[in-house]
Amino acid sequence: PPYKVGYFVGSMSAASINRTLSKALLRLAPQDLVFTEIRIGDLPLYNRDYDGNYPKVARDYKASIAAQDALLFVTPEYNRSLPGALKNAIDWASRPYGENVIARKACAVIGASPGAIGTAVAQQQLRSVLSFLQAPQMNAPEAYIQARPGLFEPDGTVTDEGTEAFLRGFMGSFFEFIERVLTVVPAPR
């Protein structure tokens, strides 16, 4: 330690509850995790014609991922899947063929929704994508956050003690998972 964690927020909404959740997670994480947001909103829509000549925004984006030890995905669920913006960003990170920068990064997924299943289906689909990209994933604990109004303050303060303790535990488990992954085989930087 310290370990470098890049985090993705799967929502572009100015009022995103997942962005607020990301703030809560950063507040509650162990001190030895250092966070950098991996911004996805400026990427064009990927297609393979870019493979021979990635634009600067995409090269910078990939370099920011490559510099991390681990990746945290904080995402809403759109129509029982991950948002297109996040999938697009993952596709950019995975190409050109053989230059997938997500491979071997220690990953965790979490998300919040007003609905009762709290992004469970989106997370399962995201996990399939990360599996294909050869990213080790924290399997447990899982975290499906039902975001009732007032659960978070805008700065990421959690108003419910049980939820706060759960999220602190989630980040503590992620720290231990990252340590295990790096101990077995260090991720390329």
Planar angle of CA 173, 178, 184, nearest 5 degrees? 125
Six-digit token pair at 179? 């340590």
Q: What secondary structure letter does DSSP report for 187?
A: P
Six-digit token pair at 157? 């303060």
Site membership for ligand FNR, residue 123 (CB under 6 A): no
Site membership for ligand FNR, residue 11 (CB under 6 A): yes
Site membership for ligand FNR, residue 148 (CB under 6 A): no
Residue with tokens 């190409």: 95
Six-digit token pair at 150? 């007032």
Contact, 66 vs 20, CB < 8 A?
no
Site membership for ligand FNR, residue 180 (CB under 6 A): no
The piece of 54-62, 77-85, 101-109, 136-144 that touches ligand FNR (CB under 6 A) is: 77-85
Please identify which residue in 31, 47, 53, 79 interacts with ligand FNR, judged by CB under 6 A: 79
Helices (H) and strands (E) in the chain, counts: 5, 5
Please identify which residue in 96, 114, 169, 186 interacts with ligand FNR, judged by CB under 6 A: 114
Site membership for ligand FNR, residue 84 (CB under 6 A): no
* CB of residue 110 to ligand FNR, shortest distance in Å: 12
Query: Please, which residue, 126 or 187, has the CB nearer to ligand FNR?
Result: 126
User: Interface mask (CB under 6 A) for ligand FNR, residues 14-33, using x and -?
Assistant: --xxx---------------
* CB of residue 127 to ligand FNR, shortest distance in Å: 16
Question: Interface with ligand FNR by CB under 6 A: which residues?
Answer: 11, 13, 16-18, 76-80, 113-115
